[in-house]
Amino acid sequence: MAKKPGPVLIELDEAPEVGPAETPPVVETAVHDPAMLRAARLAARPPSRLARWFWALLASLLGLVVSVAAWDFGAGLLQRSPVLGGLATGLAALFGLVLLLIGLREWAAFARLRRIDVVHRAAEAALAAGDLGAAREVGARLMRLYADRDELDWGRQRLQERQADVFDADGYLALAEAELLAPLDAAAQAEVEAAARQVATVTAVVPLALADVAVALTANMRMIRRVAEVYGGRSGTLGSWRLTRSVLTHLVATGAVAVGDDLIGSVAGGGVLSKISRRFGEGVVNGALTARVGVAAMEVCRPLPFHATARPSVTGLVRRALAGLFGGAKG
């Protein structure tokens, strides 16, 4: 009977020199840009001239094809059945009327935004020149702009009563800011805080790669539209997109869309982000970026520049917005 072979032992002359302490550290993977930063760059990217020609020609061609097809359809239907042809003609006329009304609404939205922009530029010119007459004209435009806002009746009355006591442009515009724009600033800040809270929550909870980008872009467009509505610049679909592009383009061009470690530390506390997940920290960053976009939207949509009234602090907005989400963090 053959003897079964036993285990073979190989003795090493020297122990291995590399131990666990000498093992090189694991290189962490690169962290992608926050969702709000990617959304801002996507929305602020200027379209090329070739792309503009492409979309313009495509829209013209499709419009021509649809118009000819509708005309042939209506003419053929009239020949076959006058009743159905008349019905189709009536529906087409109603559809054209709806398109005309939509176009008029978009034109009115652009006109409102342009009106606020004119008041803003006039206020900046009055402050630069120290012209009291120009400042009073800006105040008159403001009262006409907010003539149908019942919540500002008391502010308009206070401005009319106290404007005779002010004898310089700075003081008059400061009075207009305090009496007319203070409640509007509070409402706009509430919209910014709500958007920052929503973006931070979705980023921290939803694990999908592109979901946070879509939510960030959608929430910021809605926030900018509501901030414009607070200040009286109710915008349509095209006006909202143009206003969003203007705000995000300004942020990207000036580099203000980046968030530093000092802002994150003031929001979430010193060592909190090192003890939580990456998604949690990215939610804080996206919320801070949304608040920064909101402050820029307030500057763009506000009929008066921030002069006597201090510009809202991004850190303060983020702290109030995320106080319920990150209750353990103390600034």
What is the mean predicted confidence (pLDDT) over 106-119? 83
- Top-confidence residue, 277 or 80: 80
High-pLDDT (> 70) share of the chain, %: 68
CA pair distance 226, 296, nearest whole angstrom:
13
Rg from Cα positions in the chain: 30
Q: What are phi and psi of 29, to 5 degrees?
A: -70, 155
- Top-confidence residue, 272 or 67: 67
In the block, residue with structure tokens 């120290």: 130
Question: Do 297 and 247 contact (CB within 8 A), yes or no?
Answer: yes
Using pLDDT thresholds of 50, 70 and 90, give the confidence band for residue 47. Answer: low
Helix (H, G, I), strand (E, B) or coil at 147: coil
Whether 301 shows a pLDDT value over 60: the answer reads: yes
Using pLDDT thresholds of 50, 70 and 90, give the confidence band for residue 10. Answer: low
Nearest of 236, 238, 237, 197 to residue 219 by alpha carbon? 197
Helix (H, G, I), strand (E, B) or coil at 8: coil
- Kindly report the average pLDDT of the chain as a whole number: 75
